[in-house]
Amino acid sequence: MRKLLFESLFRRPFTEQAPSPDDAAATELAIAVGLAARRRLGRSLSIREIDAGSCNGCELEIHALNNAYYDVERFGLRFVASPRHADVLMVTGPVTKNMRDALERTYHATPNPKWVVAVGDCARDGGCFAGSYAVAGGVSQVVPVDLHIPGCPPPPINILQGLLALLDQTAKSVAPT
């Protein structure tokens, strides 16, 4: 372990700063998210993720936001374990009828001001699962949604981009829900 830790003192960090086109976009986005988030919420945004019936694809990509390449915590974006600690609910999946109640209760357990981000194509309108006897529909069928991030699943970089859009949107609104 000492060897690995020692090595990391000298090795360049994995966290991406290099300005190849995609990476530059990431860095720009990341800085913008940081500034907007500071205006609105001091210096952090706490996110509670809820899988309301997803296939788990979106969860994998949301997880990836935490890896050393994206390292979202450097911008004050943080995934928290309880809705009581959250500013943002990030909801995935077509909302299944079996999860509807749990989603509503989680929403009501989150203090104001709060925003809901629906991640993935299914979260918009049920995606390819729309019309099933077991599916209630998109997230907005159950709780008010402030932003949809499309993709099946959206890559981590698009999710970051989406959070920026959310912050711009909420900065414009006078009284957030």
Partner 1 sequence: MPSLIDLMLQGHEVQHHSPWPRSAVDAAVWNVAGSGLAQGRWSLLGLWGEPATVHMAIIDAQTAEIAVISLDCPERHYPSIGKHHPPALRLERAIHDLFGLVAEGSPDPRPWLDHNRWGTRFPLADRIDSLSNGLPYRFLPAEGDGLHQIAVGPVHAGIIEPGHFRFTASGETVVRLEQRLGYTHKGIEGLMAGADLDRAVQLAARVSGDSTVAYAFAFSRAVEAALEIAVPDRAVWLRALLAELERLAHHLGDIGAICNDASFTLMHALCSVLREDVLRASNTAFGHRLMRDVIVPGGVTRDLDNNGTKAIRAALDNIRRRFPALVELYDNTASLQDRTVDTGMLKPALAKQYAAGGYIGRASGRSFDARRTLAYPPYDSLSFDVPVLSEGDVNARVWIRVREVEQSLSLIDQILDRLPEGPLRANAGQLREPREGMAIVEGFRGDVLVWLRLRNGRIERCHLRDPSWFQWPLLEAVIEGNIVADFPLCNKSFNCSYSGHDL
Nearer to partner 1, 91 or 145 (CB): 91
* Of residues 135, 143, 155, 75, the one with CA closest to residue 115: 143
The answer to whether 155 contacts partner 1 (rule: CB under 8 A) is yes
Q: Which of residues 35-74 bind partner 1 (CB under 8 A)?
A: 49-64, 66-69
* Smallest distance, partner 1 to C-beta of residue 171, A: 26
CA–CA distance from 19 to each of 72, 103, 157, 167 (Å)?
18, 40, 15, 24
Measure the CA–CA gap between 74 and 108, rounded to whole angstroms. Answer: 29
Please report whether residue 104 would count as binding partner 1 according to CB under 8 A.
no
Residues engaged in binding partner 1 (CB under 8 A): 1, 3-5, 14, 49-64, 66-69, 79, 81-83, 93-94, 96-102, 106, 127-129, 131-135, 152-153, 155
